[in-house]
Amino acid sequence: MRDRLIASRIRTGKASVLLLGPRQVGKSTICRALAPALYVDLADEREFLDHAKDPALLRRQVDTLGGQALIVIDEVQRVPSLLNTVQSIVDRSRHRFILTGSSARKLRRGGVNLLPGRIILERLDPLSILELAAPVDLDRALRLGMLPGIYWGADAATEILGTYADVYLREEIQVEGAARDIGGYARFLDIMAIVSGQWLNYSKLSSDVEMPKETIRRYVQVLEDTMVAVRIPAFIPTVRTTRRVLQRERVFIFDVGVRNALLGVHRRPLGADQVGGVFEQWVVLQVVYLNRALRKGWQLSSYRSEGGAEVDLVVDTPDGPIGIEIKAGRNVVAADARGLASLAELVRRPKSLRRWIIYRGDRRQRLPNDVEVWPVDSGLRALAELPPG
């Protein structure tokens, strides 16, 4: 594995950092490699209890350090009131803090701010293709996902992934206190794994899990706040049109391996009927990871017309939007670009829409109407080289 894309920014930066991301993406590994003068591990139950019972402990520990020290507080959301102490120390000293967390919700619920103007927010996701020393093992990636310890893991990776889904997602998120009906929450989580990447119909979802739409929306927000879900909003046309564009969002489980583990399909090769949907989710998530890690600032959306025309991902770049259709096959034909043609009619300057197809084949191609066909690896790398928004 290469260095994580954000690791060098954290290592060479001068400002304090709040590093957010799901568990097991490598936050602690990055922080320990920095050799901090003080490492407070709130995932350790004893350290958690010490700081929860004694709010002044952190200040006394910092007072023993030299003039400009690096301090790491891991899983800071477990004692969110520590952020007030951190803010006070940052304002009065030259110490630098790296704070990690896996729940923005717990931080907000703790009644503290996220130190605006004093701290840089970074997001760490599972592995992107730019962080692999070798071409991605796509079969493994689609089945087990891109969590570093799982993707690079040995035979035990499959069982560890299953444990991650069962213990972390089902039990730890329940500790958030957002799910009074544990059985209903468990049904919701299973359904979300099934509909991951689909356009959400909250009324239908409410019927499927037998709970109010408002509860469903709240649970989806919990998943997003705990870094377990990624929202992709609907594309909004830039010109007036009589064509109806569906304004439904898509919600993705943050890693396809975790999604597969929730469904119990991670222990065996994916079936032919499963590969297409999982490949699409994997590519969309790779774009999300790259957008965050490289600080591109692109707006991402998905397009679907009432008539059924679809474009899997629209990336709004400074050079104009790119419509990306994702195909799991190893061959493409002109008909695969029909959704892109429909989308082009809704862009203010149709010729400014770059039309891409990313597929599992190994050759670049150009179809009619300047549709660019990219193998998945080179397509993602080409996207990563585009300027930020």
Render pLDDT for 133-175 as a digit per residue (tens, 0 to 9): 889 999 999 999 999 999 988 778 888 898 887 777 666 666 6
pLDDT over 70 (residue 63):
yes
DSSP code string of 137-202: -HHHHHHH-S-HHHHT--TTHHHHHHHIIIIIIIIIHHHTT--S-HHHHHHHHHHHHHHTTSBP-H
pLDDT over 80 (residue 328):
yes
What does the pLDDT look like over 211-224, one tens digit per residue?
Answer: 899 989 988 988 88
Sequence ranges of the domains in the chain: 7-123, 128-389
Residue 48: CB atoms within 10 Å? 16
pLDDT over 90 (residue 66):
no
CATH number for the domain whose boundaries are 7-123: 3.40.50.300
Give the long-range contacts of residues 90-93, CB within 8 A, separation 24 or more: 90/16, 90/115, 90/118, 90/119, 91/118, 93/62, 93/67
Work out the mean pLDDT of the chain and round it to a whole number: 89
Extended beta strands in 247-353, E state: 250-253, 299-304, 310-317, 320-327
Q: How far, in Å, CA of 328 to CA of 276, rounded?
A: 5
The alpha carbon of residue 69 and the mean position of all alpha carbons in its chain are separated, in whole angstroms, by: 31
pLDDT for res 269: 92
pLDDT over 80 (residue 54):
yes
Can you give the length of the chain in residues? 389
Q: Which two tokens stand for residue 130?
A: 């730019």
What does the pLDDT look like over 249-298, one tens digit per residue?
Answer: 999 999 999 999 999 999 999 999 999 999 999 999 999 999 999 999 99
DSSP code string of 1-23: -PPPTTHHHHHH--SEEEEE--T
pLDDT for res 174: 64
Average pLDDT of span 20-40:
94
Q: How far, in Å, CA of 208 to CA of 333, rounded?
A: 37
CB-based contacts of 171, cutoff 8 Å, min separation 6: none
pLDDT over 70 (residue 75):
yes
pLDDT for res 379: 97
pLDDT for res 157: 87
Contact of 320 with 389, CB cutoff 8 Å:
no
Average pLDDT of span 323-327:
98
Extended beta strands in the chain, E state: 16-20, 38-41, 70-74, 96-101, 119-123, 229-232, 250-253, 299-304, 310-317, 320-327, 354-359, 365-367, 371-375
The model's confidence at residue 179, banded by pLDDT at 50, 70 and 90, is low
